[in-house]
Structures are given as structure tokens and as C-alpha cells.
Structure 1
Amino acid sequence: METEIEHHHDSHRHLIDAHTDVLPDLERSGGVDAVVVPTIRPPEQLQHAIGLASELDCVLVTLHSQRSDPGLAKDMMPPGLRFIAIGVDDPAPLNLPDFATTAVLRGTPLACTTDLSAKRNTGLLLARLMGWRRILFLDDDIEVGGHEDVRRAAALLDAYDAVGMRIDGFPDNSVVCHAHRLTGGQQDCFVAGGALAVETSREPSFFPDVYNEDWFYLLGERSLRRLTVTGSVRQCPYDPFDHPARALHQEFGDVLAEGLYWLLDEGESWRAAAHEAYWEKALARRTAFIDDVWRRVKELSDDEFPNRAAMEASVSAASYCHAFIKPELCVRYLDAWVEDRDRWTDHIHKIPHIGPSMPDAKKWLIRSEVEKFPLFTSFDS
């Protein structure tokens, strides 16, 4: 492991297997049952996913909110493509558990403001209902190099619980880690839910409503689930410093995930993080890291980095969070997450295998008291 400074691990890549050159038996086991796309952008952004699902001859699931409209997406679907388009502006009607982790942060400045976890958990719920064993999570700003990369990832699910795809192009990091890289720090990218093939019929896992929810999904009983990487995808560029609130809403999840994966890096179980004494050390490391990044940002030239002020504001927002992030809260959240793992397992095991019948599946996908729900599909029988 390459570590640049003692308070930050710049890479966790050594925790996973790499299969960039080994081609599994695609004829025997390649293929996914569905591509699941959480989306907040205009439906035109789905063109790549539509083409990919068509090439893979699988179902396309699109989960819409903000600027994305499931009705408009429905009109874009080509003949012959099996699809499910769901509006998730309000996730409350979805038949998802009431997670203890969400309750821990509710009403605090650390509460998550996105619906990404609800969308991904809905994908897992649909997989259970429809009998899909292998699904690909794909963000709407990520493009896969080719369908063979997906088939290779799917084939590896014979031996692994999850298979990530290397994200090229714009780095997939938190705001603070973007600032770290831009000010001279070494910073790798780990497996991300934006391009992740998963096997759904084995040990159940879920995405908690917090930043780095995908890192939590990848954890098993004591360490990382069976995980590998193959192929590559490209993420569209964006400005990570355009809204300081992004850093504020990421920081708690970044603290937790980096704290847990630090233990894995050291050959320990994430369960060693169950005590406040551990988080006192982890938080001290994190604040030292942020202080170091902030110092380097302050030293940048405005001429060389026109967005230096925005970068500084974002790092300061992350630092501000530490007025609320205490060891006791970290332990309480971790305890709630352990409880939620069991809650999700119980919930998903109560969901029947319906098969490709959306009228029947909707009875389990949506809470019974909801009369109308924005859902469009190509198959209704």
C-alpha cells in the first residue's frame, strides 16, 4: 500500500483482486439480467444506458428524480427494449425498510440530502421480485467502454459477490480528496457503485443513506465481501467545488468509510471500530488530513487555480462538519448500521419471487396505501 501521509490512506486498491486481462467463460455465464440507472439528469442522458441494455439484451431500470422524468424516458425507449422507469422524487411510497441509520442523522446538519441509496435499494428490491441474479448499477454520468466489459464483469460474479469497473476520465472521489489531489497529494479511486455488477441471490446487503453508501454495501460480516475489478468506464467531468454544501454532506460518510477501510488496510476487521476510542483516533487523523489539505489550498495561486476560493470554501465546509461529528455519533451510527443489515436481510427475505409480472410486483414494490405512483414499463403481464 502506498501511503503519502500518516493521517490518510491514498489507496485501498490492495484490498481487491484485479482481473483486467483474464477473460472468463462468457458463453457459459456472461450477461446481466438488468442495468439499473439512478438518474437526476434530463432523459437524454440515458442514451448510453439504453444502447448498452439493448446490446446486452437485458432489462433497463431507470429511477428518476429532480430534472429526470420517467414519462419522458418511456418515450425514448426503442421497440423491443424491456424497461421499467420509476419516479422517485419522493421515496416514501417505496416498500423499503425504515432504517435506523437514517433516523440517527435525521434533523442534523449531517443528514443525507440525496436519494441515491433509495434508488439503489429499489434496484435490489426489484431484483428480488423479478428473480434477477445479476444486475449492473450504472450512474447516468458514466459510460461503459463496451458491452463485453459488462459481460466479463457478470461472468466473474460466479466467484465474486461484486465486480467493479475501473473509472477512467474524471476521478471518482469526495470533494476533500479532489482538493488533496489538486494540491499535490496522491489519491487513488476505489470501487464505486456508479459502475458495479452485483450478485443478488447470496448474502443480502444494502446501501445506507449516507455518502460512500457503496463502500458500506461492499462490507461483509467482518471484512470486505468477495470483490474484484475488471474493464473500465469513463465518468463525465464536473466541478466538485461548485457548491460547498456538497463537501458538507459528504464528510460524515467519508469519515465513516475511511475509518472502517483504514482497519481493513491494517488487516483488521471493521468491527474493531465499535468503540469510541477508535473513533477518537480516526477523527484526529481526519481533521489533521483536512487541515493539511486546507493549508495547501491556501498556498495556491489564484492565477494558476481560478477556482481556489471555491476549493477553500468546500474544504472549510468539510472542516465545519467536525463540530457535529463526535466519536459517540460514529459508534451510534455503526451500531445502527449493524442493526439495519439484519433489518434489510429480514425485509428482503419476506419479498417473494414474482417474475416478470409488473402488476403483481408493484404490490410488493410500493406501499399498499399508495394509490398512484409514477411507474412505466414495457411488460405488464
Structure 2
Amino acid sequence: MNRKIKQIQSHANLLFDASVPVAGSANTRLDAIVVPAARPASELQHVISLAATLAVPLVILCSRQAQLRQVVRRVERTFGAEALVIEVPESYRPPCPTPLTSAHEFHLASAERSSDLSVKRNIGLLLGRLRGWSKILFVDDDIRGFNPRDVARLAGYLDRSPVASMVSREFPDNSVVCHARRTVGFKQDVFVSGATLGVNLQHRGLSFFADIYNEDWFFFARHAAERTLPKVGEVSQLEYFPFADPLRAGREEFGDLLAEGLYAAFESGRRSFDDHLRTALHPSHWREYKEVRLETIENTLTALEQVGKWLSQTEYDNMEESLTTARKWSANISPDLCVSFIESWQEDGQRWQQMLSRLPSRLSERDALAELQLQSWRSCGYGRPTESETNLAPAGAVC
């Protein structure tokens, strides 16, 4: 069978090289570095020190192992650091209608994946708009190896581009299936991601983060389709064993299939985003891509058998179980469900734009947090008094 769609090992041609410095405007400086934090406070020292070096305030969104008081102490002990540290409750959702992309059927297709990363990133977007900021940089709590000059260059590119990002090659920022492909000897590149993502908050087409694996690929999908997504430098990521929990592959599979299938459409030729989107709204596209995806996983399993003698028994067993888990979940994803998600994603985007148009702007820190109904926070810094708020009275919804 001669398929039009193929497994793409690299989407680098959807990027444009932003390694050359650009002349910035008078407001090249970032307004904030936003950190969705779930790791212990000790893991945040790198980004706290980076922000202090750059004289950029932090917004640290805490949950799970990231404890507000411990993070505040880290900030207060770091010369030059300044931060707004916010506790994000487990059940928190921005005071907006529930996104269609968070529907139960998509949650089930994602093996009941539980993550607050999209929620935190959307908080960063909304907080920035409420405060009247222009530029923010999202940095995940496992990112290391920043070059401050790259950050300055990224901020400069945000004068011309709605988004700009960096690539994490060491340790590669990939899905479980892509990690497995690299391990067994297939070529596998790394794309830019939300782990280090600059955003121009005043761009009229500002997107949102859907609650799905690869939420960042959907956030900057239009710019990737139009080849206007700048790659500015590289960073590193904390190493982990991607096959430790085989069900991780199941939780990733729906989002990975959707994102890779959408970007496979982008790779089919230079057309407008809307033209590519029309392709992704046909079940036939997903029927064909699902065959490609299953074949990709099967080929990886076959290659694993051939290189297995070079792996430890634990690595082999976990990788095999991860791939068979991905295959199982992929097989259960219907083309109609993929189309339904793309339709929901587009409708959510329209509702998001309508909500943004009604948001107040240039609010104080306290008033912006009240709008978002975030009730536990500390505004702190080296050598300055700490301002805090708890148990704020519920404010009006932001949309």
C-alpha cells in the first residue's frame, strides 16, 4: 500500500532557525518566567538563580511535591530573586466553562491521565493578560543548562513572533514510543516544546493549553504549520527512565497519535493552517495515520527483539511492555474520536478568544489572583517583606 502519510522522525523543517540575534525593541525584557512546579523546592534553584541573574521576576505555580513555604524560602535566600509563589489546589480549574477537550471520552482515551500542567500553563497566560504583561517564558521544573544570552534572544524574537521555543536534546524530550525508537536504533529527533516556551501575551491569536499529552504541540500548531515557529537555542532536561511505568505509554498514546498525525498533515506540503486543519477533520486522515502509528510501534517491537541482548533484562522487559501498552491503546482509538477532538479543540479555541476579549487588564497582583480565585499565594524576594493572601473571598469568574 502506497501511503501518503509516513512516520516522521524529525519535524525540524517546521521550525525556522533563530540562532542569529535580532534587534530587540525597547521592551525586549521578559515580564516574568512562569514555572509549573511539581518537584521539591530544591529542584527549582536553577530557575530561581537564572531569574535572579536576568533580573526577571518569577511566577511559581506549586502543587504535589512543590511546597509553597519551602519555595518561598528558596527565593528569599537567593540574591536578586523575586517571585510570586502560588499554590494550585489539586481540584483547581480556572473559573471558565469546562473545555470541550476535557470531555470524559478523551480522558478515557488517555488512560485516565492525570496532570495539572495544562492548568498551570493556562494560569500563566491568564495571569499575564490580567496583569497587562507582554512577554513571558514558561520553564518546566526539570529544565537545566540555560544560556542567558539565548533567553535574551528569545525575548527579542517575541517582538516579531507570537511564540519562540528551545529544544531539549540532553535528556531528549520525547514520548515513550519515541524514546524506544531511539533506543533500538531508529533515527529520532527532538522538537521544541512547552518546557521552554516564550509567549507574546498580547498577540491577538493567543492560544490555550488543552488537557492532553503534547498540549504544547497543539498550543503552537498554527505557527508550526506556517513554518513561523522560532527555535532559539538548546537546554537540557533531567534524565529519567521513560519505561519505568509501562502505563505511561498508554497515558501518552492518544495525545501522541493526535499530535503526530496533525503534524504529519503539516509535513504534507506548504499550505495554510486552515487547509491542513480541513485534512485533520476527515476520518480518512486518521484511519490512514492510525495504520502508520501501529506499524511504527510494531516495527519498534521487532527491532527491540534484535537489539535485546545489548539491554538489561529490566530495560528490555519494561520497554517491551511499554510498547505493547502503547499498541493496545492506539488500537482502541477510533478515527471518529480523533476528528471529535480536533473539532472540540477548535471550538475551545474560539471560546478562549471570546473569553480573552472580556478580560480586564493591568490589574494589581492581588486583584488578578482574586479574579482567578487563587487563594493561597506569597509575593516574596531577597531582602524584601513578604506579602501573602489566603482564603480570598470568591471573585467573579473571568469569563
Contact kept in structure 2, 1:211 and 1:254, CA below 8 Å: yes
Contact kept in structure 1, 2:15 and 2:227, CA below 8 Å: no
Contact kept in structure 1, 2:6 and 2:264, CA below 8 Å: no
What residue ranges of structure 1 are gaps of 5+ in the alignment?
Answer: 368-372
Report the CA distance between 1:95 and its aligned residue: 2.6
The 3 A distance-change label for structure 1 pair 130 and 180 is same
Partners of 2:109 and 2:47 in 1: CA distance:
34
Letter in structure 1 aligned against 2:369: K
Partners of 1:96 and 1:302 in 2: CA distance:
53
Q: Which of 230, 233, 237 is equivalent to 1:231?
A: 233
Report the CA distance between 1:349 and its aligned residue: 2.0
Which residue does 1:215 correspond to in 2? 217
Contact kept in structure 1, 2:127 and 2:369, CA below 8 Å: no
Q: Which of 362, 368, 372 is equivalent to 1:365?
A: 372
Report the CA distance between 1:155 and its aligned residue: 0.1
Q: Which of 320, 338, 354 is equivalent to 1:312?
A: 320
Contact kept in structure 1, 2:24 and 2:159, CA below 8 Å: no
Report the CA distance between 1:348 and its aligned residue: 2.0
Report the CA distance between 1:374 and its aligned residue: 2.6
Contact kept in structure 2, 1:176 and 1:315, CA below 8 Å: yes
> Are 2:288 and 1:281 aligned?
yes
> Are 2:279 and 1:272 aligned?
yes
| 190-199 vs 76-85, greater mean Cα deviation | 76-85
Contact kept in structure 2, 1:96 and 1:122, CA below 8 Å: no
Which whole-Å deviations, capped at 9, do the CAs of 1:325-346 have from their partners, x for residues lacking one?
Answer: 1011001111110110011111
Report the CA distance between 1:91 and its aligned residue: 4.3
Which whole-Å deviations, capped at 9, do the CAs of 1:219-263 have from their partners, x for residues lacking one?
Answer: 229934731111221111111001112111100000000011001
Q: Which of 352, 361, 372 is equivalent to 2:360?
A: 352
Q: Secondary structure at the match of 2:221?
A: coil
Letter in structure 1 aligned against 2:30: V
Which residue does 2:391 correspond to in 1? none
Partners of 1:59 and 1:97 in 2: CA distance:
30
Which residue does 1:35 correspond to in 2? 33
Partners of 2:288 and 2:159 in 1: CA distance:
39
What residue ranges of structure 2 are gaps of 5+ in the alignment?
Answer: 381-385, 389-399
Which residue does 2:395 correspond to in 1? none
Q: 1:170-319 alignment to 2 at 5 Å?
A: 170-202=171-203, 203-220=205-222, 223-224=225-226, 226-267=228-269, 268=271, 269-302=276-309, 304-306=311-313, 307-319=315-327
Letter in structure 2 aligned against 1:316: T
Partners of 1:131 and 1:224 in 2: CA distance:
28
Which whole-Å deviations, capped at 9, do the CAs of 1:91-149 have from their partners, x for residues lacking one?
Answer: 42533441000015366252431111001111101110111111111111111432211
Which residue does 1:149 correspond to in 2? 150
The 3 A distance-change label for structure 1 pair 265 and 105 is same
Which residue does 1:370 correspond to in 2? none
What is the total number of aligned residue pairs between the two structures? 370
Which residue does 1:331 correspond to in 2? 339
TM-score, normalization by structure 1: 0.91
Contact kept in structure 2, 1:300 and 1:308, CA below 8 Å: no
Q: Secondary structure at the match of 2:22?
A: coil
The 3 A distance-change label for structure 1 pair 107 and 53 is closer
TM-score, normalization by structure 2: 0.87
Partners of 1:255 and 1:40 in 2: CA distance:
26
Q: Which of 61, 66, 78 is equivalent to 1:68?
A: 66
Contact kept in structure 2, 1:163 and 1:198, CA below 8 Å: yes
Partners of 1:283 and 1:68 in 2: CA distance:
38
| 319-328 vs 130-139, greater mean Cα deviation | 319-328
Partners of 1:15 and 1:215 in 2: CA distance:
12
| 358-367 vs 59-68, greater mean Cα deviation | 358-367
Partners of 1:244 and 1:337 in 2: CA distance:
28
Moved over 6 A (4+): none
Partners of 1:348 and 1:280 in 2: CA distance:
35
Report the CA distance between 1:208 and its aligned residue: 0.4
Letter in structure 1 aligned against 2:378: F
Partners of 1:193 and 1:168 in 2: CA distance:
14
Q: Secondary structure at the match of 1:343?
A: helix
Report the CA distance between 1:303 and its aligned residue: 5.0
The 3 A distance-change label for structure 1 pair 67 and 221 is closer
Contact kept in structure 2, 1:218 and 1:225, CA below 8 Å: no
Which residue does 1:105 correspond to in 2? 105
Contact kept in structure 2, 1:31 and 1:56, CA below 8 Å: no
Identity %: 36
